[in-house]
Structure 1
Amino acid sequence: MARSDLIINLVKASVRGDVADARAVAEAIAADERSKKHSGVADRISRALDTPQPPQRNGQAHTPGIRVRDGSGGVQRSEPRRPLSSLYLDESIYKACDELIEEQRRADVLRAYGLEPRHRLLLAGPPGNGKTSLAEAIAYELALPLFTVRYDAVVTSYLGETAQRLRRLFDFVRTEPCVLFFDEFDAIGKERGDIHETGEIKRVITTLLLQIDDLPSYCVLVGATNHPELLDRATWRRFELRLSLNAPSSKQMIKYFHDQLNEFEGQPGYTAKRLCESVAPVSFSEAEAFFLDVRRRIALAQGARELRSILDDRVKAFRSHSRARIEGAIDGGKTDPSVS
């Protein structure tokens, strides 16, 4: 049976004559039934929503068909391709994610005991260490689409418009099981007590909290932030699972280099440890960028250069870029009057 709150919301929308709300709730009911493996009921609801309107008769005003308040423009839909096993994470992170995935897969068992699976996850840590990849991997393991929030399509300068677009976004998301990913979550979930923020951001956060509370458990919400200290305390408490993805250990990074080297043909002339120490990446994203660069050079060489030569060349280039970036940061700090 559908959730009682959805049925009540459907009745309220019908009584008000709000056809847009009625369709949004009906689609949410269909998604809820589909998440419970009640495909027959979900399909019947979908077919009922697609029923064509009768023609106008006897001069009666034609009632417009039910139209959903489409918030699809606020998200970018993608099909995940990265399995959880491809990530290099601490064992505790793997275990926590495995438990979340199991709860979602066996939600019917939990509901038989009056329980709901956890579906709100916050990922915190420095950039480049797998927060976005982990959100994609969770969607992959659950065989769900990944909806990434587009802030440029949600946040506006008009008073009240951001909150309205946020509500439309969540209305759209509820229509099917999915993983909803908020990257840089602190951009929209900032502390309301910040004296530098306007009243508008406080209204947005209040709307966000209400929408998160009302998000059904078949929609998995993943928020990622590099600055967890900036999050509103009430927002922080909404997440049932909070994980820290810190900078990789030397053991994890060497394992990554070892696996990458094994994919190449030819003699690299480096051990995984030596190459890792030569490149000295500070995050997985930097290490991934290095190996992508190597693959580009291999493809363009078309066998004319040995793997060892290409690796030597790319190590020098990577060191040069890293040094330039560091020197640029130092020079910027010297010229910044706020730095003493």
Structure 2
Amino acid sequence: MAGLGQHITAMVRSHASGDEASFYSVALQIAAREAKAGHHVLANDIKKAVDASRERAPLGNVTTLAQPRGEIAELVEATHPDVHLRELVAAPDLVAQIKQVLAEQRQRKNLLDHGFTPAHRLLLEGPPGTGKTMTAAVLATELSLPMFTIRLDSLLSKFMGETASKLRLVFDAVAQRRAVYLFDEFDALGGDRSGNDVGEARRILNSFLVFLEEASPESLVLAATNHRAILDKALFRRFDAVLTYALPDARQAAAVIKARLGTLASGTSLAKLGDYTSGLSHAELVKAAETAAKTVLMRGERAVGREDLIVALTARRTASLG
């Protein structure tokens, strides 16, 4: 009984720390122990339960997923997004790329069975506020997966000296739990250091490249950057696709504003606002729409007028463009 007690203790500890691999390993050890003792039915039931659990785990059930536990909890932020592709305002070619990624992920078993790997390592690059984080949320929502965000700038500053080992923990999670993993502020890690190499930074980058190369196709690994030009060129060939984001044109800007205002935009013409929306990101357009909406609601009205929008957009352009 002492041996069984130790196994149960190990299982409880691995469950508490969120270490699924260790949990299954100990369960199989118990199955082997029972088989050796002649309890073959029980041993077989344990093995079947482990296999069934492993098959279900990669599918991801957003409603039942717990927050990360153990060391990994210090490194990632877990969310369960509810943002659909139809809500993303982007250029048609970018939307087509996202649809292709979704299609490959939904057919991943078919592709893998035939020796092809679905796109699962994506580099998202473009100005701030243009939809990179929203894209990660869209992928998570459309595939019914949780989303884990890793802020690399915080990881580097908080765990300098042990960053590579922390990255290993994250990529172990990539292999064990099907999800969307977003490495935000990727510039902090991926900056081109040629000619100005520091040993620790180079080792961290090399570790990331190795981990990325080996990343499980069961999960999606996304890296978001605002500064493609400074990225180390070695990074680009490690990604399955590069998604490029840009500031919205006048038509897209009007769509962003209309989506945020909802019924408050009823009867209001959003045409020919290009002079006021030019240079603003999706995020800034949303903030301008919210400012106009709050102004109108506080006046006791229920519709945002064109002039209200122009005032809000002008103020946002002045603040953002200097």
User: Which category describes the TM-score, using the shorter chain as reference length?
Assistant: 0.7 to 0.9
For residues 265 and 285 of structure 2, the distance between their equivalents in structure 1, rounded to whole angstroms, comes to: 19
Which of 301, 306, 313 is the equivalent residue of 1:305? Answer: 301
Give the aligned partner of residue 241 of structure 2.
241
Distance 1:184 1:28 in 2: 34
Partners of 2:279 and 2:317 within 8 A in 1: no
Q: What's the CA shift string for 1:179-233, capped at 9, x where partnerless?
A: 01012212112224141x4211001101111111221001101111111121122
Note the C-alpha offset of 1:263: 2.3
Shift of 1:107: 1.2
Give the partner amino acid of 2:303.
L
Say what the alpha-carbon RMSD is for the aligned residues: 3.2
CA drift of 1:267 comes to 4.7
Aligned pairs for 1:1-340 (under 5 A) are 25=21, 41-43=51-53, 70-151=71-152, 153-156=154-157, 160-195=161-196, 197-260=197-260, 263-264=263-264, 267-268=267-268, 271-275=269-273, 277-278=275-276, 280=278, 282-301=280-299, 304-305=300-301, 307-308=303-304, 312-313=307-308, 315-327=310-322
- Cα distance in 2 between the residues matched to 1:108 and 1:162: 33
Q: Which runs of 5+ in 2 are unaligned?
A: 1-12, 26-47, 58-68
Taking the aligned partners of 2:312 and 2:56, their CA distance within structure 1 comes to: 56
- Say if 2:190 and 2:235, in contact at 8 Å, map to a contact too: yes
More helix by share: 2
Offset at residue 255 of structure 1 (A): 3.3
* Residue 243 of structure 1: how far off its partner (Å): 1.6
The structure-2 alpha-carbon separation of the partners of 1:298 and 1:78, relative to structure 1 and needing over 3 Å to count, comes to farther
Comparing 275-284 and 88-97, the one that deviates more: 275-284
1:121–1:240 Cα contact (<8 Å) kept: yes
Supply the distance in 2 between the matched residues of 1:249 and 1:39 (Cα, whole angstroms): 53
Shift of 1:238: 0.7
1:62 counterpart residue number? none
Instruction: Point out the more displaced range, 254-263 or 177-186.
Output: 254-263
> Are the aligned partners of 1:278 and 1:315 in contact in 2 as well (CA < 8 Å)?
yes
Aligned partner letter, 1:73: E
**Cα distance, 1:120 vs structure 2:** 0.5
Gaps of 5+ in 1: 1-18, 30-37, 48-67, 328-340
Deviation for aligned residue 1:149: 0.4
Which whole-Å CA distance do the structure 2 matches of 1:86 and 1:39 have between them? 40
* SS of structure 2 residue aligned to 1:126: coil
Check the 8 A contact 1:28/1:175 in 2, yes or no.
no
Q: Is the 8 A contact 2:126 2:226 kept in 1?
A: yes
- AA in 2 matched with 1:307: A
Q: Contact between 1:147 and 1:180, CA under 8 Å: does it hold in 2?
A: yes
The TM-score, its normalising length taken from structure 1, stands at 0.70
- Flag the 1:217–1:28 CA change in 2: closer, same or farther, 3 A: farther
CA offsets 1:120-141 (integer angstroms, 9 cap, x no match): 0111111221111111111111
Q: Which moved more, 1:223-232 or 1:248-257?
A: 248-257
Match of 1:15 in 2: none
Q: Which range moved further: 152-161 or 91-100?
A: 152-161
Q: How many residue pairs are counted as aligned between the two chains?
A: 273
**Aligned in 2, Cα 1:148/1:96: closer, same or farther, shift over 3 Å?**
same
